[in-house]
Structure 1
Amino acid sequence: MIPQKILALFEFIDYLDKNKKSYIEKYIPLCNELQILDEQRSKLKPERNYIEKQEYDYIQDQISAKFSPILSNIYAPVSEKLIELGIWTGENNYSSIWNNNISAISDFKRNFTSEDVLQVINYKVKYLTFRTETNSNFLCLQLIFNELDEIFKTLFDFFKDTNENEFNSFETKTIKVDSLEEAVKGLIEKKGNNISFSIPSEKFHYGLNETQMQRIANIKNEIVMGDKIEVGNISNNSGQIIIGKEIRISDSLNGKQETFEKIEELIKLIRQEPNISDEQRQNLITNFDKVKEEVLEEMPDKSKIFKWLSNTKRTLENLVLTHEAIDAINWVYKNLNFLIQQIGG
């Protein structure tokens, strides 16, 4: 029998499928109009003279009017449905989409029945079809879909017969660049695409003069080590800049399995640590659990692993841990080429 948590995920897929036709026929064309308006707006310099300021304001008013029904009829109902089903608790970083469901998925993968398989595969096809046929974040759902894709991939990849990445067509693609300026330029040129740019940490800010830094600052951005840079006034750019060391993952199945088992062992140790708050413990388990699942992928996403390890490092730096846990943490960091400094106790 399929547990309630999994059935709630399936009910949400039914909700998306039910609304798919309306999304495609009515709202994707509206999103396309907004992207055209946004491109027109980006070419204007409202501070230059009154003519461009008036034109800019006119386009901005059009954007606000057209974007309102997308928020009202897509973002709000989708968010409410996720909360109603207990898939998401409503927090801003959407981490509960993973936290609320990963345990149920892990249990289900251990305890499913033969009768469950066909139903799971049917819902997998339904979700992948929705994501492929819409292929849109509707200018407001990218962060939610990122988290949903992660949790659904963890479930559905277990129930497939090939090594094909069935989520490939709508996953974030990572492009390596040598400078922040190159990454920002790429974000602007590829605005609206689901991409990320990876920059080695030693190249961050290197060689940028004051004018170049100002150009970057003029873009309304948020730069977080290991996270993203957001561009624009509407959420139609899902690009990210990932800054950090190059993650190294074994190419062999045995090497990946060893890393998986070491992280699994580390998670067990974290559960037993006496000097960790519940919030810190959950943060560490959530991020290490994501790393553990990703390393077994045929082509692991190193930018995601870097982000999750960055999250764990920030938490671990403020903790006093047992010697056994310290050894396990340092093994994982060193094995993935993430070791910046030894974690102490």
Structure 2
Amino acid sequence: MRSGKRVTTRDIAEQLNLSVSTVGRALAQDSRISVETRHRVEQKAAELGYVGNQAARMMRGASSKVIGLMVPDVGNVFYSTAAHALAQCMSKQGYQVMLCETSDDRDNELAQVKGMIAGQVAGVIVVPTPNPRSESIRLLRQVPHVQFLRTHPELAKQSFGIDDRGVLSEATRHLRDLGHTRIAYLGGLPRLSTGHQRFAGYLDVVGDDHDPDLVAHIPPGASDSARDALARLLDSPNPPSAVVTASVRVTEGVLEELDARRVAVPRELSVVGFGDQPGFGWWGPGLTTMALPVHEVATACSMWLLQRLGDSGRSAPFSSNTGGYLRTRGSTAVPAQRR
């Protein structure tokens, strides 16, 4: 099937040289259809990526004004901010947003994709899991979609995100310019496109011959793992003088551990965070952090998709990656040995 076209019972019927009514009855497990025919129809339906549209029939056509939004963690301020911006933009154009949480689980992702296709969503904005199932990819290709914040090479060639590499490079360089040489990195898994790019930004500054003991890759959403990683770093024989974080959840875990251990920031440890939710400005001496234009990027993404829905032509591949900016507060200073 060509990209952007939903598979219908007519498509299955044509492939098997059957009537549309026979295919419909077979998919409904009608006993009047032989077991052999039902099996052939089910196999072809799975091969083509067919999903029944019962939800669409219940919605009586309203589905044409529904946009699917797939995110890994609605509790992450990154994604809740984006969802708010997307919903605002879509609402102004008469669309509603269907929010789905994947928990970065590929099976859950597939279930959510099936639900959206069955509901006949007009389009999808997706933050893909690290390794989507081939069926998820096949189904998403049936509907206009755009990748948001993360990317996967087999999904849409259009994406909106943050300049993750540049952001982490700027954050790490701030610490290097202050005189820090032992700068720890706590970020996401490199198998995520965001994790890979952010770690690359850190390496751009510290170099490939960095101390691997200063690096910890944290699973998505695992703030407790971030706390444990920081504890190991602080308890090591040669602890860092500074730490840079590379996700909102990791930043939250780091701040919790610093509070629990009553670490004097920045006298004992300088910290640069990721993202700038309101609490970061109130924390301790005020967190120096990389502020990110998530709201603006989400709005641009939704506007692009709306334009795409009104244009039956195919869109050329492109990616939009917006930079952040360093918001300097009181959590960074020159290292103690240089004072």
TM-score bracket, normalised by the shorter chain, equals under 0.3
Rg comparison, structure with higher value: 2
Which protein, 1 or 2, shows the higher relative CO under an 8 Å CA cutoff with sep ≥ 6?
A: 2
TM-score relative to the length of structure 1: 0.24
Q: Which has the higher strand share?
A: 2
